[in-house]
Structure 1
């Protein structure tokens, strides 16, 4: 055992594109993503390569937005929301094999409660996802969804 790792990587902002009036609270790890006008990105957020976030969307602290996610405008992503692009379709992690990853599309005016988990799905406009929900299937009808797996409750 030793006192330092062989490789130490710093978090930060690299190759990200920002619209006008964007607020970012550090520390964050943002790379290769696009953040629309007047967005808010809270601390301890990671937004990966090729993610696109629409105007006026707020992403609260401790959220993780992986590659292949698109989020519309006027959305709210609560604290600790996790997006998943690897469904372990071969019984374990894809280990970097992007051909096994799947995409997620979030519409406009979507609010996702704290600690929700969003698997690769499409969510239409005007949807509320309750705190702690696990979204396993696409949502095609506006409304309020909660539970694990998430289902329409209102």
Structure 2
């Protein structure tokens, strides 16, 4: 199960792969990617952020991926593409040795239930556990120390990095990427209080994830209490994210690190939640909403757009003064309303 060394590509092959216009020697071979500043003659660099335009004229890269408007400033061979950052994303997958197609194989120390259904070219690493009734699609990779709970299904081409836990009855689509330490299908935080102590509510639902989902390291997606927690297609979830029971996230949404979503909240399609965003429970966030980092959302959002809350950092002395004024806002608003009413009556 050793991964092969990354392949090399000619510029002509890369241009064809990207649908880019090649200017230069198509037979030149590239062995990897690097920044404009650090790339060598056998590496390809890219220019997507104009902050790095200053590095273009002095680059030693073998070639540069860039927008056509900057081609005249490039001193080396180049590939012209309208969206060079998207092109960079595509190239990064070509040069990543860990994305090579698995050759298959089960490590002798892995424990695989007799009734588990294992597809073609599946790799199962050391000390991994595949429980009863599990289904693994073709070319699934299960890293060292992973646990796949009973009756779970993992779609073709998905990859579990070492020490991922997929609990019982979880459904994961095709081409998913689960990073180390994430837990899919742990119990939701459900308890009833009798006035003296807490009583656990059994979490009877599961987790259903669509195709092309990525979950970062040490993130948790809880199973539903009755219905399933549902993650749509092409959803991207960063590290240390908490998604509570019965949350639903629409297709193509992205959640940055340390986002927390409370139970039964629904997030629409094509939404973006910045780092540290918190969503209260039982809310509805419509399609096309962007919430900026560290914002707290306590009410449903029914119109697409960009939303923010909180205050930016400032010197502590100024913040302390403002904090006092925050407490006075309600009184100030009432006094202003009385003055406006008196003015209108006068």
**Shorter-chain TM-score range:** 0.7 to 0.9
1:3-152 matched pairs, under 5 angstroms: 12-14=111-113, 15-32=115-132, 33-90=134-191, 91=198, 93=200, 100-120=203-223, 121-136=229-244, 137-146=247-256, 147-150=258-261, 152=272
* Mapped partners of 2:111, 2:183: distance in 1: 19
- Which structure's CA Rg is the greater one? 2
Change (3 A) 1:101 1:21: same
TM-score normalized with structure 2 length: 0.38
Which consecutive aligned stretches of 4+ in structure 1 deviate over 2 angstroms post-superposition? 84-94, 150-154
Question: What is the Cα-based RMSD across aligned positions, in Å?
Answer: 2.1
The structure where helix makes up a greater share of residues is: 2
Instruction: Report the Cα offset of residue 62 of structure 1.
Output: 0.7
- Structure 1, unaligned runs of 5 or more: 1-9
**Contact 1:30–1:47, Cα closer than 8 Å, also in 2:** yes
The structure where strand makes up a greater share of residues is: 1
TM-score normalized with structure 1 length: 0.82
**Contact 1:87–1:101, Cα closer than 8 Å, also in 2:** no
Deviations 1:3-56 (A, max 9, x none): xxxxxxx97111311110101111111112110000100011010111000000
Q: How many residues align?
A: 141
SS of residue in 1 equivalent to 2:249: coil
SS of residue in 1 equivalent to 2:120: coil
Instruction: Report the Cα offset of residue 115 of structure 1.
Output: 0.8
- Structure 2, unaligned runs of 5 or more: 1-108, 192-197, 224-228, 262-266, 274-289, 291-346
Deviations 1:75-128 (A, max 9, x none): 10111111234225344556xx6xx42210000010111111011210000110
